[in-house]
Amino acid sequence: MTSQAQTLFDGRYRLEGEIGQGGMAVVYRAHDERLNRPVAIKMLRPQFAGDQNFLTRFRREAQAVAILSHPNLAAVWDTGEVNGIPYIVMELVDGDNLKTRIASQAPFSAERAVGLMIQICEGVGAAHRAGVVHRDLKPQNILLTRQGQIKVTDFGIARSLAATTSTTQTGPVWGTAQYIAPEQAAGQPVSPATDVYSLGIILYEMVTAHLPFEADTPLALAMQHLQAEPPPIRTYNPSVPVGLEHIITKAMAKKPQARYPDADALCSALKAYQRLGEQMTGPIPIIPRQAAAPTSAAGSAPTRAGAGGARGPAGATGTAPQYAPPAAPAETDWPTLVLGAVAALFVLGLIPLYWTVIQKFAGG
C-alpha cells in the first residue's frame, strides 16, 4: 500500500497510513482531496475479492449504513472499486475504541457506564427502527471521539429484518464468541433482542472489568451462552447499584422474549435509572409503547475492521417498553370528609322526626 499512499487512490483519496484491520478488511486513514476532509477507507483484502460471500457481506455494509443517519453511528460517505477490490469511505473517528478504554480504565463507575451505554443504545436503536440488526456488537466496534461521543461501526454482518422470510429459518453462525447471543450461537433467527444481549454483556464488562463467560474455544463459549448463568455482577464489583444490576441481568436473559425487545427499550430503562439512581432497588416496571413501523432495508454492513467469529440470521422485532413511574399516593381531602360526616349526622338525626310524622298520619 506504500506506492498507493504516494498517489491518489481512485483519483481522489490520498492514503496516509493503516489504522486498523480485521478478518476481511483493512482500514486506512486518508484525505479526500475533492472535499478537503479526513476520511477512513475500508478495503476488502485482495484474497477475498474473488469470494462472492465476502463481496456480498462487504457491499451489505455500505447498503445498511447508507440508510442510517444518526450522530452515534459512523457515517458511510462513498463506495467504489479499484482493480476488483471494493472499498467503503467512512467518517474518520479521531479517538479509540471502547475495548481499549475497558482494558485500561474498567471497572467504570455506574454513572459513566450508563452514560456511554445510552449513547450506544441510541445509535443501535436507530438501526433497529430502520429494520437492521447489527449482529456483531462488541467494544471493538464502538469508537469514542476525543470529545467522548460514541460512534457504532462495523455493520458488515448486519441483517435486514425484511430479509428473514420464515421464523424457522436457520443459518451460519456469525459474530464474536464472547458477545454472541444464545439464539445466535445456535444458528437461530436473530432480532433486535439479539443485539440487546450483546449490549448487556458490554455493560457487564464496563462495570466489572470482566467478561461473563470465558473459555478456550469459540464452541465452549457458545455452550456457556446457551446454558450457563453468568457470575453475579456484584461478585466482581459490590459497588454496582442493585437497580443497574437488574437492568444488565434482564438484557442478558437467555430467552429473547425475556430481554428488552430492542435498543430503544434498553435505552428507556437506562434513562429511568439515570433519573432515579439509588432509589431503584428492584426490577424496573415497564409498559409497552407502540413502536414505529420499521422501514424495510435490504442491506447490512461493517465499518471499521472488526474481528469475526460466530453470527446468525434475522428475526422479528418487538415493541419498545417505556418506564412508567409509580403514581404518587393521593392526598387526603380532610374538609370534604368533615363536611360529609356532618351531613350524614344531620340526615340520621331527621329519621326519628320522619318516623313520628308517618306514625301520626297513619294513626289519624
User: Which residues form the catalytic set?
Assistant: 136
Chain position carrying cell 443485539? 195
Cβ atoms within 10 Å, residue 360: 9
Query: Which secondary structure element, helix H or strand E, spans residue 110, and what is its range?
Result: helix 110-129
The whole-angstrom separation of Cα 322 and Cα 290 is 10
- In degrees and rounded to multiples of 5, residue 38 shows phi and psi of -75, 145
Distance CA 181, CA 306 (A): 18
From residue 17, give the alpha-carbon distance in Å to each of 3, 13, 22, 129: 11, 12, 15, 35
Q: What is d(CA 208, CA 278) in angstroms, rounded to the nearest whole number? A: 18
Determine the Cα–Cα distance for residues 352 and 168; give it in Å rounded to an integer. Answer: 78
DSSP code per residue over 222-244: HHHHHHPPPPPHHHH-TTS-HHH
Going by their DSSP bridges, the two strands 142-145 and 150-152 should be labelled as antiparallel
Beta bridge partners of 142: 152
